[in-house]
Amino acid sequence: MNALLSVSDKTGIVEFAQGLHALGIKLLSTGGTAKLLAGAGLPVTEVAEVTQFPEMLDGRVKTLHPKVHGGLLARRDLPAHMAALQEHGIDTIDLLVVNLYPFEATVAKAGCTLADAIENIDIGGPAMVRSAAKNWKDVGVITAADQYEAVMAELKAAGKLSDKLRFALSVAAFNRIAQYDGAISDYLSSVKFEDEKLSEEYVPERSLFPAQSNGHFIKVQDLRYGENSHQQAALYRDLYPAPGSLVTGQQLQGKELSYNNIADADAAWECVKSFDEAACVIVKHANPCGVAVGKDAHEAYAKAFQTDPTSAFGGIIAFNRTVDKAAAEAVVKQFVEVLMAPDFTAEALEIFKPKVNVRLMKIALPQGGKSDWDHGRNAMESKRVGSGLLLQTADNHELALADLKVVTVKQPTPAELQDLLFAWKVAKYVKSNAIVFCKNGMTMGVGAGQMSRLDSARIASIKAEAAKLSLQHTVVASDAFFPFRDGLDVVVDAGATCVAQPGGSMRDQEVIDAANERGVAMVFTGVRHFRH
């Protein structure tokens, strides 16, 4: 048996090659890999010896040869193929170990030049991988270090690879090639080529939206059904999921998550992790129906639940703090579909143990940093339309106190300003049109998803009344501007004394005048948060 090893990422390759050698498998290799193996005392034959043709063009040409591809592609069950190999002195290659030039890592570096990107486009590697993967019945193709263990285990046990493993390796290989080519296409399609600037040091400007978009997602699981029982569905994750994102979570107990569970859980998790203080978010049908901050998880939950106990029934609950005994004892009293937190104490897990249908999800919070990735956020958002795809940068805008522009005679109090920032964070996750009443770090009434902003304001008031909450001296966040004064009048009539809205309407002055007339404070945020 012959194995050809040619890897860019050399993690574990020496140990793997030692295992192959111990099994009597002949080692072939190229360039740096060959030197590494020889340095480890392994007998290795360079591909140039086999092809009788030297590596050339700075290593660009070394494996593109019939003695390599013939050895990979020949079908062992076809006498004509084997006769051709014998006639031309070609040995079969039974194992191929290749990982590709680090194109993705190269272009991810700040200041990557076009020349560096081009130089890291692998040619011979993908060609060999495709040859081996096509001939999977006879050749095992290994494209990642995490495959070494399974391959070695079968070789030691049976002296060969099973059809099942060879086919799985082939599928993984074609997937890797698709990912690799997609990354190259994404990069080159995004480059704004400027001929007059072209040089070895040329760092091209890149468009956020390449001429061709090549998304790559890995299936996590099939789902029982989709949004409705007559629809089929599955969950996929990004090839490289951001730390702290929903798909990185671990389900600790409960039945499988459904399509709707996952959609609502994502809405709750994205909202709760936007708060620095201990927070709780309760979501029902993709909208927050209760959000609050508190001194700990228990207090945050008690306040969030108080907003809308009716809608909280069968909801999705997310915490950004460990769920302890006190929080668990409070939550377990209600019917909850999914409960998410960075962690659960042993006591909390025991409390939920009898509730076998409650899905507990443990998700590590992102550690933070400069990029959206560091915060566990999607950099881009997508939506399918008929035979098309809408792409946009994600709504990751964070409002700071300094961004608020007071436009009324009355000034907000320091407490009102803090509540406005809280309300604005919540409004970002409420479907448009969104109206959110808040007070003391707690939602008091939420109006969502209405065609009219007036209706959203009225629904928020109705929700508060049903929960026996007073809207007197509350603040209000509106995800978009008030086009007329009537919306402002509705929230002020309900008890609001301070309002945050984006501004930008032709009738802004009319609304400002109305606020001054009613004696309330109003601030403009300068940004809106439509969420359809």
Nearest to 131 by CA among 91, 62, 86, 74: 74
Active site residues: 134, 285
**What is d(CA 301, CA 457) in angstroms, rounded to the nearest whole number?**
24
Q: Which residue has 């590590």 as its token pair?
A: 364
**DSSP annotation string for 342-360:** S-B-HHHHHHHTT-TTSEE
**DSSP annotation string for 176-203:** HHHHHHHHHHHHHHHEE--GGG-STT--
The residues that bridge with 106 in the sheet, in sequence order, are: none
Angle of CA points 486, 492, 497, to nearest 5°: 140
**What is d(CA 43, CA 148) in angstroms, rounded to the nearest whole number?**
20
What is the number of alpha carbons within 13 Å of residue 19 lying toward its C-beta?
Answer: 17
DSSP assigned state of 57: T
DSSP assigned state of 273: T
**What is d(CA 312, CA 255) in angstroms, rounded to the nearest whole number?**
20
| DSSP E strands, 22-145 | 26-29, 44-46, 95-99, 140-142
Nearest to 479 by CA among 510, 454, 453, 498: 453
